Structure 1
């Protein structure tokens, strides 16, 4: 299974509610750059899961309309909620892209790489790509890529 953590792109600071915050023009460009990078690397059957926040939906829409809104991915959710939504480690699909928030995505990354939840930073519109595989009967987690829009 491939699990891709994609933090929402830059969003406005103020809105009627936190869930209503929209992407800024810069955020839309960030989302488009990352979507272009992902499009060149993902199979057509990749599944996108997005938080119900407007900014995550707008980030996912940069890739297209193939996303599913998952309430448990809302801001303030847990690392375990992200893993459960994706079906980690077996996966609800071969590749699952989770479009979500900090600090939750950083906590997922730290849990997968170190076995402990820590406050790791994932840049706005940043992507962390993990792969679960089996070698010699043992499960392994491989960090395949980390990218931010300013490097793409």
Structure 2
């Protein structure tokens, strides 16, 4: 399974509620750049799961309209909720892209690589791409790529 963690792009600081915050014009450009990078690297059958926050939905829409909103990905949920939503390590699909929030996505990355949930930072509109594999009967997470919009 491929698990791609995609943090939402830059969003406005204030709105009527946290879930209503929208992407800035810079955020839209960030999301479009990462979406273009992803389109060249993932299969058409990838599954996109987005938090119910407006900013994550707008980030997902940079790739198209083939995303599902998953309440368990809302701000404040824990790392295991993200992994459960994606079906890690078997997957709800061969490639699952989760569009979510900090600090949760950073905690997922730390958990996958170290076995401990720790606060790691993922830049706005950045992705961390993991792949599950089995070696000598043990399940492992392999970090395949990290991409940030300022590297495009």
Give the TM-score normalised by structure 2.
0.99
Cα deviation, 1:89-134, whole Å, max 9, x if unaligned, reads 1000000000000000000000000000000000000000000012
Match of 2:10 in 1: 10
Q: Secondary structure at the match of 2:49?
A: strand
For 1:49 and 1:138, locate their aligned partners in 2 and report how far apart those are by CA, in whole Å. 27
Where does residue 41 of structure 2 map in the other structure? 41
RMSD in angstroms over aligned alpha carbons? 0.6
**Partner of residue 77, structure 2:** 77
Distance 1:124 1:103 in 2: 11
C-alpha distance in structure 2 between counterparts of 1:143 and 1:137, whole Å: 19
Whole-Å Cα distance in 2 between the matches of residues 151 and 7 of structure 1?
A: 15
After TM superposition, the structure 1 = structure 2 runs for residues 105-120 of structure 1, keeping only pairs within 5 Å, are 105-120=105-120
Offset at residue 135 of structure 1 (A) = 2.7
Provide the secondary structure at the position in 2 that maps to 1:88. Answer: coil
Instruction: Give the aligned partner of residue 55 of structure 2.
Output: 55
Runs of 4+ in 1 over 6 A off after TM superposition: none
Separation in 2 of the partners of 1:147 and 1:114? 20
Q: In structure 1, what is the equivalent of residue 32 of structure 2?
A: 32
TM-score (norm 1): 0.99
Aligned residues between the structures: 152
Show structure 1 runs of 5+ residues with no match.
none
Which string of whole-angstrom CA distances, capped at 9 and with x for unpartnered residues, describes residues 47-97 of structure 1? 000000000000000000000000010000110000000000100000000
Secondary structure of 1:3's counterpart equals strand
* Deviation of 1:139 (Å): 1.8
